């Protein structure tokens, strides 16, 4: 245990999709709080690793294409072999496909559901099988943080598989919390609002849509990756030991409006 409840010194965190945007923001925030990082994903997170190491923390890059569950067991084994343990899992990797519901293809449905929900569940499962073996031994609770969405709460348009997957993430987070709370694991989720990243560059550049978005947000600005990072540090820390099955909206007040 560190000097404050938010101190993650001695903890190891897996962050999927940590190469840029929200994933990078979460990885850096956890590292600033003291955690070592395993950056997992299809794209190499070299920039993230450099920044984590500059903070004095270890960072291992683990290559894995999470469009299938094939690499899931190897991811956990690799992280434990290289960093010694796995205390925190952040399921950030995800994809989106857009088309009218009348025209949406089975291929686009399966691709999004496989990455956003199926791989997320089986990575939670693989990590938890490791976590339960040591959480009962050293008394420190393990933490799983799933990245949900505003579409965990809302329907959206033209993204049926994304909405279904993120609604599933919210429900699955609650189920896993129910089952694993007695096993020393906290399972929660973060639902980001509109965050200024490369993925939202087109929306930010669209003068009309950008204005409409900002006008709806009480904070009157786009979120930043570090806004999500702060929430992740809280949920990963002992300060959140009594928080279970919660989906934390970090949206500048979007849902409140």
- Starting at the edge strand found earlier in the chain, the sheet holding 12-16 runs 59-63, 36-41, 12-16, 88-91, 142-147, 185-192, 247-250
Residue 42's Cβ-count burial label (10 Å; 0-12, 13-18, 19+) is middle
Is residue 242 flagged as an active site residue?
no
Q: How does DSSP classify residue 256?
A: T
Give the Cα separation of 168 and 205 in Å (integer).
31
Measured from the Cβ of residue 217, the count of other Cβ atoms closer than 10 Å reads 18
Structure tokens at 173: 């987070």
36, 72, 162, 225: the catalytic one is 162
Q: Which are the catalytic amino acids?
A: 162
């Amino acid at each position: 245990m560190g000097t404050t409840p938010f101190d993650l010194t001695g903890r190891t965190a897996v962050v999927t999709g940590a190469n840029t945007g929200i994933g990078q923001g979460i990885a850096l925030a956890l590292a600033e709080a003291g955690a070592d990082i395993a950056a997992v994903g299809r794209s190499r997170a070299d920039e993230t690793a450099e920044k984590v190491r500059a903070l004095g923390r270890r960072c291992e890059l683990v290559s894995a294409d999470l469009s299938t569950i094939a690499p899931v067991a190897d991811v956990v084994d690799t992280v434990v072999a290289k960093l010694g343990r796995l205390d925190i899992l952040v399921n950030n990797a995800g994809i989106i496909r857009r088309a009218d519901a009348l025209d949406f293809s089975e291929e686009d449905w399966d691709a999004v559901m496989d990455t956003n929900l199926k791989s997320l569940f089986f990575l939670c499962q693989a990590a938890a099988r490791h976590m339960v073996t040591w959480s009962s031994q050293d008394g420190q609770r393990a933490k799983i943080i799933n990245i949900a969405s505003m579409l965990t709460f809302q329907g959206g348009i033209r993204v049926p598989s994304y909405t279904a997957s993120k609604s599933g993430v919210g429900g699955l987070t609650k189920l896993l919390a129910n089952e694993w709370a007695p096993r020393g694991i906290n399972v929660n989720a973060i639902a980001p609002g509109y965050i200024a990243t490369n993925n939202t560059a087109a929306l930010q550049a669209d003068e009309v849509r950008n204005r409409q978005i900002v006008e709806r947000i009480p904070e009157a600005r786009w979120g930043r990756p570090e806004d999500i990072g702060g929430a992740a540090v809280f949920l990963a820390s002992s300060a959140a030991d009594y928080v279970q099955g919660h989906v934390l909206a970090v949206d500048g007040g979007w849902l409140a409006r």
